[in-house]
Each structure stands twice: as C-alpha cells, then as structure tokens.
Amino acid sequence: MKRLALFAALIIPTLSQAVPEITGTPQDLRGLIYPESRIVTLHGNAKETAYSDQAIVNVIVTTEEPLLSDAIASNSSLRKNLTQRLIKAGIDGSKIKNSKFSSSPQFGWLGKNPSSYKVINRVAVTIDQENHLQAIAELTDQNKEVDIVSTSFEHSETSEYTKKVQSKALAKIMAQKADYEETLGIQLIPVNIRTKNIGFYGTAGAGAVEEVVVTAARGRAGKLKDSFSDSYIETETSSFDEVQYEASLSVEFQVRPAHITE
C-alpha cells in the first residue's frame, strides 16, 4: 500500500507538467476547438438584349365651353368618338384607358367670373403595331382638341428575361467554382447568395423616338408616320427600341479539402 502511494506521488506531478496550459479569451478558446471556416466569394454578371414589343401612347383631350356642363359633355363625346375610331383601326378596346377629367375656369381680362371652363382628360392607348400609332396620329391631325403628349416603349416578357439573366449569371459563377475545384483540389460548398443588381432599362434611342413622336404630333402637319420612319432609319444600327436586362450575383462558398465529405 505504501509502495502504491509512493508511485502515485511521483507520477501525478509528472503528468500535470506534460499537459500544456490553455489560456486566452472565450473567443480564442472557441477558435481552438472550432476552427473558423474559410469563405470565398465568386461573382457573376450577365446581360440580355430584348426589343420593345408594345408602346403606351398618352393622348390629352381638351375641350373648352362657356358652361362647365357643356365642356364635360363635349369632352366625353369626343373621347367616345376617338375610342370607336381606334377600335375600328384594330386596337383592342381593353387597351384604351381614360383617366379622371380635370376642369379649370378660364378668366377674362375683366371681372371675377370665369369666361369659360376647360376640361382635360388623358387617354392612354397601348399599341403593338406601327399602323396603330398612325391611326392615333391621324386623330390628332383631324381634331385640334387632341394631342399626343408622351410615348413610352415596353417589353412584355420582362419576367422571362429577368429569370434568364439571373440564370446566366449563376451559371458563370458555377463554372468558376468547377474550375477552382479542379485546379486547386478543393471543395466549394455554397453557403450564401447575394443579389447586387437585377433589372432592366431602355436604351437612349427609345427617348429619341418618343421626342420625335410627340414633336411631330404637336406640329400637326400630318407627317408623323414619315417622321417616325425617318427616325427608325437614322437609329436602326443602335436599335432605338432595345431593352437591356442585367443581373449581378455573388455566391459565398465554404472552402474544404477535396477528400472531406458531409
């Protein structure tokens, strides 16, 4: 028994000296037990060009009469006639939208009472053919109360093209991933994805066409179609009706040796 006690007294201090002392903050100790994973970020960008396949033409109908009721009635009658003629020209009636009217009294030089009442109403017409634009132009030429005030071009497949550029950007990232894994002999495990920029915008030429359309309509010379055609010829190489879709993605990957699996 004495020999066992003597052996323990000799061996225990020796063991205690062989174990290194662990010191440091809780964060330091956590790093020793659970080493921090290395993260790399790969980036991918993609663009797709589409072409506008429809336009929204905003038309203002203005009527002025001595009595407000007459101005309202005149405006309503003119808009109804315009709608019927546009439908006859092949434009779907559901594509012709009327906004709420606004009226403003017109005061003369003398007196506090208004000399007349003006009623203004906006009509938005969505078209997808050039001959529809010509039909609207003819109405503005034939009616002094009607003016084209703006034209905006749109692309009807926005959702599809947005997904397309996202997929292309992600495919570029995955191609980089495969290249790095093969070259460096590592595994890249995706842990996070970030969206930096996903959207679309019209090219500068679209604004030029809108300016041509509006200016020609205000000129009331009956030459909107010629002006529109001339603009197309001048800007055909830059594609005035282009819509540019773009996506920028980043994916974070955890780096592991190639032989480690889940």
Q: Say yes or no to pLDDT of 53 above 90.
A: no
pLDDT band at 1 (very low <50, low <70, confident <90, very high): low
**What pLDDT digit, counting tens, does each position of 154-183 carry?**
888 888 999 999 999 999 999 999 999 999
Output the pLDDT for position 155: 86
**132 or 53: which carries more pLDDT confidence?**
132
Output the pLDDT for position 107: 64
Q: Say yes or no to pLDDT of 125 above 90.
A: yes
* Distance from C-alpha of 186 to C-alpha of 167, rounded to nearest angstrom: 24
pLDDT band at 55 (very low <50, low <70, confident <90, very high): confident
Q: Say yes or no to pLDDT of 187 above 70.
A: yes
Closest CA to 211 of 238, 246, 235, 180: 235
pLDDT band at 62 (very low <50, low <70, confident <90, very high): very high
* Distance from C-alpha of 62 to C-alpha of 99, rounded to nearest angstrom: 13
> What average pLDDT does the segment 57-75 reach?
91
- CATH class held by domain 32-51+155-203+239-262: alpha beta
Domain range summary for the chain, segments of one domain joined by +: 32-51+155-203+239-262, 54-154+208-237
Q: Are 248 and 45 in contact (CB under 8 A)?
A: yes
**106 or 71: which carries more pLDDT confidence?**
71
**What pLDDT digit, counting tens, does each position of 11-24 carry?**
555 544 544 554 55
| Multiple choice CATH, 54-154+208-237, 3.30.70.2970, 3.30.465.10, 3.30.460.80, 3.30.70.260 | 3.30.70.2970
Output the pLDDT for position 52: 82
**What pLDDT digit, counting tens, does each position of 190-247 carry?**
999 988 777 776 655 444 444 444 444 444 444 344 433 333 333 333 344 678 899 9
In angstroms, the Cα distances linking 132 to 55, 89, 110, 128, 138 are: 10, 7, 45, 7, 10
Q: Say yes or no to pLDDT of 257 above 60.
A: yes
**Share of residues in the chain with pLDDT > 90 (%):** 41
**202 or 185: which carries more pLDDT confidence?**
185
* Distance from C-alpha of 225 to C-alpha of 148, rounded to nearest angstrom: 14
Q: What is the mean pLDDT of the chain?
A: 76
Output the pLDDT for position 25: 60
> What average pLDDT does the segment 57-81 reach?
92
3-state secondary structure of 67: coil
The residue written with tokens 């503005």 in the block is 140
Output the pLDDT for position 101: 64
Closest CA to 117 of 97, 141, 98, 101: 101
